[in-house]
A and B are shown apart, each in its own frame.
Chain A
Amino acid sequence: MIHLERISRLFRSDEVETTALTDIDLTVEAGEFVAIMGPSGCGKSTLLNILGTIDRPTDGRYLFEGDDVAKEPEPELARLRRDRLGFVFQSFNLIDELTIGENVALGLAYRNMPSKEKRERVDAAMDRVGIAHRRNHHPHQLSGGQQQRAAIARAIVGSPKLILADEPTGNLDTENGAQVMEILTELNAEGATIIMVTHSPAHADIAKRTVHMLDGRILTSARRAA
């Protein structure tokens, strides 16, 4: 499903040039649940952003289902994100001005779809993560766990093939973290491919494969014994 070849990413400011990723090669098959681990600043989030096409590599090839998306124009990438990707962030990234229901609906806002179907899918996604009763609240009225579940609902409302999760449990307590991991595991069991950045070895253990990174490179990539 995903094939990265010699991906690198440089950040340039006026004076400083920082290498975030160097020669990353990575292949992820459909249906995998991959955890990415590594110390802060090792390039995990940058890698995830590039996988999610919200950042572009400086160099290298990125094949998504056979298409080289590193060179695709922006409207194509927007369509790719809209139709095939779902994002979950550590800081939830819900929009404060919108209610939970509206935030979840945002996952379908840019699709052509009858509004009845949109409503049904939003309801289903919120039921699925157990926050339907919070539909009319604003994000700041919810606990962190509820906010993250709302963010997951937003990510899955469009039935994406790939879910990218950037430390989805990083801001949550153990119990809420466990709930989120449960949902992700279920989604993976239903066929979604998941790539997750995490600091938690326990949560990484839930994934089928763990990729270890250091200073912008992949150290090891180990599959969990079946």
Chain B
Amino acid sequence: MAGSALLTLYRSLTRHRLYAILNIGGLALGLAVFLVLFLYVRYEHDYDRMLPGADRIWTINSAYDIPGFPAVNISTPQAMLGQLQADFRGLEGARLTMIDDATVKNGNALTSGIVAEVDPAYFDFFPFPAVAGDPRAALARPDGAVITQGLATRLLGEGPALGKTITLIFGGAAHDYQVAAVLKPMPGNMTYASPIYVPMPAAADTAGTPSPYTTLFLRFADAAAAHGFEQHLPAFVDRHPPDGFSSDSKKPSDFLKLTLLPLAAVHLIEPRDRAVVATLGLVGLLVLLIAIVNYVNLATARAGLRAREVALRKVLGGTRASLVAQFLVEAIATVALAALIALAIAELALPFVNTIGGISLSIDYLGGHSILIPLAVMILLVGGMAGLYPAAVLSHFRPASVLASARSPSGGKAGARLRQALVVLQFAIAIAFMIGTGVLVAQTAHMRDADLGFRRDGLIAVSSFSADGLDGAQRAELVHAFAGVPGVADIGLSRQTPGDGSINILSYQNNDHKITVQQVQTGPGFFQTFGAHLLAGRLFDARHAGDDAFGVTPDDLAKHPRNIVINATAAKALGFARPADAIGKDAPFTQSVHPLIIGVIADMRFASPREPIQPTVYQYDSRATDNMIATVRTAPADVPAVTRRLAAVWRRIVPEVAFQSITINQQLYRQFYQNDAQRSRLFTIGAVLAVLIGCIGLYGLASFDTARRIKEIGIRKTLGASTRDIMRLLIGQFLRPVILANLIAWPIAWFAMRKWLSAFDDRIALSPLYFLAATLIAVAIAAATVFGQAWRVARAEPARALRYE
């Protein structure tokens, strides 16, 4: 029976080529979109879950709970593991410190790179398979390094890497390491992966200062054990208060909250990120739904062509069940064929998708992540869903009436209504996607172009300026030399730069009300370089002794605070109606600390466009301190040339440290816009394909429906309808469901996009233009799709149409 069904399918596909192309092509495209997005969702969901035992690892999350601010996650002190293990016997733990501004020396060439300092136990927690050597044993020796195969090839060539020496510069010194293990290539979806691992220095155990990017991993038997452990953490914080903590009324655990986070939850900890993954997964499902609708519509629309076959099979003794089975086998075989093509499309599309989405998806055919099993399940499910309704309609035909009648049944009025409803559904989805895409792209463009309060083009941040290997004299010399580089208009120093992710929050208690501000440490040239817009008062000046914090001891600073410049938001927060009112006033941050406000500048947005601009206080230190970054202003077109010249100057003055720079635009993009931009591109592709697949279905439907109505059109023409009348009739009828779809799409898109935009402080208005534009595009595309079909039949000689049966 299945053989006969497949033979009929083959004949039907080869005889009706257009139908086959539309049906299988549309399905394949829908399945390909679904497959890629399925891989994407699985990739995101599998983050950090790939290695055996990952489900037993938790990380410690340290957060400061500051009133008036969202909880601020901070890095965990390296010493905490020792304290924990002393307090809780038998606790398994490992640490990882990411050093992302290290320099890797290879002969005379310097490259900047990421190095991870880890405990040997790290490789118990993360058992990366090794090509050579034993990673755990490698880190037992103080000069052992574990590197990935890719890096080994790049640094040391194709030969065996074990035992070779690599030189890393970080923490202000050069270190030689022997390569003691080489790791197999790692999956891309690992939060805590690094190309180079070196042992964590023992000194870190005792150093009390929190070093950045330290992550603490703990291992528990199960979630209950972890939860039980978590209950002891507040008491632990009170026993080991953070450095410098002093409060009469509060306990340390009131401020510093330690929580356990399952490793698998780290990557998608932000609700926003989870929402994005869920949305893209939904896009995949909906695009697949559109493709399934196409199949159902085309199959039932064509039912008439199959009616005689059904009738004959019934006459020859076929039961309804056997016919349902036949049509289901047909549907599943069609879906299987489409799935093979989809697999090929997905393979071809993945490099492109990976590039624009900033991800590394791949299709595995063997092993635990084999695509074959999900694919088989999908073929059966989609085939069953797509085939069931047409099978029910087709197997229902009564043989006598079909064989006796000259006319072929078309599934009846109910069938036609259902097809219309399904087209409405398809286009509602597609139009909602288009609106969403429009808003997404517009918001992304807005973030890229919005006025941040400073000119973002032509700013180069020399981030290696704050590297450990430089001393004060070198920094001073660099600033001087940079200023003389042709093309450099200004150079400014600051501890924070836009999009570098660093914030410095101070919370002040002012009698009855509390004010929390961001602090930006500035050096010479900062305001000029960024082009800050002064609203009132003056900017810092080295000639005013009261401005400069250089050389002032903390005690002295508490008694005689330095002058400050504030932003407009801070002026408002402090209660000044106009910026000018703030000049010369004390900023009464605490009972004792009252710095003098000398200037108010317009708000400059250094933080994410999602967050409101915070009250900001600018302080000044005339000497380049060790954690400041130099930012250079140049003409946007000169950025590459000036960067090359800066690097040359750098190599002359600090040859032992790699030069590292980034334009502020790039830094903002990576920190704030990249994810949105990449996701909006994925979403755009999904939307375009959704519309395309919907149109494939509409085209197929139009071609079969017009064929079915040729006679009616002949009658109408005989009665005096002109070609134009017929065109209007046909296109109008095909567009009705498309126009109707807007009624569903608009409210859904409006709610969804309003919610999405509400996450941005700096956002575009949800203009009706996006909705109108999406509608117009959908209607225009749909009209163009059916135009050819309508034109063909509308122009035909009526006599020919009337002969048509």
Contact = CB atoms under 8 A, between A and B. Distances in A.
B722 A75 contact: yes
A62 interface: no
Nearest to A92: B715
A158 B720 CA distance: 10
A154 interface: yes
A75 B712 CA distance: 18
Given A54-B718, A93-B711, A75 B723 contact: yes
Given A49-B799, A89-B802, A93-B711, A79 B722 contact: yes
Contacts of A74: 722-723, 795
Contacts of A83: 720
A43 interface: no
A145 interface: no
A97 interface: yes
B797 A87 contact: no
Contacts of A110: 716, 719-722, 725
A74 B797 CA distance: 9
Contacts of B720: 78-83, 85, 110-111, 158
B717 interface: yes
Contacts of A52: 718, 799
Contacts of B712: 95, 97
Contacts of B716: 106, 109-110
A82 B802 contact: no
Interface string B789-805: 00000010111101000
B413 interface: yes
Contacts of B719: 81-82, 87, 106-107, 109-110, 154
Interface string B703-734: 00000000110111111111111000000000
A44 interface: no
A209 interface: no
A107 B717 CA distance: 10
A89 B802 CA distance: 10
A56 interface: yes
A52 B799 CA distance: 9
A56 B714 CA distance: 14
Contacts of A109: 716, 719, 721
A89 B715 CA distance: 10
Contact of B718 (A75, A87, A111): A87
Nearest to A56: B797
A65 interface: no
A142 to B, nearest CB: 16
B799 A55 contact: yes
B715 A93 contact: yes
A16 B691 CA distance: 44
The prevalent SS among residues of B at the interface is: helix
A52 B802 CA distance: 13
A52 B711 CA distance: 16
A54 B798 contact: yes
B690 to A, nearest CB: 31
Contacts of B798: 54-55
B722 A55 contact: no
Contact-residue bracket for chain A: 20 to 34
B413 A97 contact: yes
Interface residues of B, number: 21
A154 B716 CA distance: 11
Contacts of A79: 720, 722
Most buried by B among A46, A81, A107: A81
Interface string B240-254: 000000000000000
Contact of B799 (A54, A80, A95): A54
B797 A95 contact: no
Contacts of B714: 54, 93
A86 to B, nearest CB: 9
B711 to A, nearest CB: 7
B639 to A, nearest CB: 63
Contacts of B724: 75
Nearest to B721: A110
Given A74-B723, A89-B802, A54 B717 contact: yes
A93 B797 contact: no
A93 B722 contact: no
A81 B797 CA distance: 13
Contact of B715 (A49, A80, A95, A158): A95
Contact of A93 (B721, B725, B800, B802): B802
Interface in A55-95: 55-56, 74-75, 78-83, 85, 87, 89, 93, 95
A78 B717 contact: yes
B714 to A, nearest CB: 8
B722 A54 contact: no
A78 B797 contact: no
Contact of B802 (A54, A56, A80, A154): A54
Nearest to A86: B719
Most buried by A among B722, B723, B725: B722
A107 B721 CA distance: 9
A111 B725 CA distance: 11
Interface string A96-128: 010000000011011100000000000000000
Contacts of B717: 54, 78, 81
Most buried by A among B413, B797, B799, B800: B799
Interface string A31-61: 0000000000000001001001011100000
B723 A78 contact: yes
Nearest to A9: B799
Nearest to A75: B722
A93 B724 CA distance: 22
Given A95-B715, A97-B413, A106-B716, A78 B722 contact: yes
Contacts of B797: 54-56
Contacts of B711: 93
Interface of A: 46, 49, 52, 54-56, 74-75, 78-83, 85, 87, 89, 93, 95, 97, 106-107, 109-111, 154, 158
Interface of B: 413, 711-712, 714-725, 795, 797-800, 802
Q: Would you list the 4 A-B pairs with minimal beta carbon distance, nearest first?
A: A82-B720, A55-B799, A54-B798, A78-B722
Given A74-B722, A93-B715, A110-B720, 11 more contacts: A49-B802, A56-B797, A78-B717, A78-B722, A81-B718, A82-B719, A82-B720, A93-B718, A109-B719, A110-B721, A111-B720
27 contacts: A49-B799, A54-B799, A54-B802, A56-B797, A74-B723, A74-B795, A75-B723, A75-B724, A78-B722, A79-B722, A81-B717, A82-B721, A83-B720, A85-B720, A87-B718, A87-B719, A89-B802, A93-B715, A93-B718, A107-B719, A109-B716, A109-B719, A109-B721, A110-B716, A110-B719, A110-B722, A154-B719
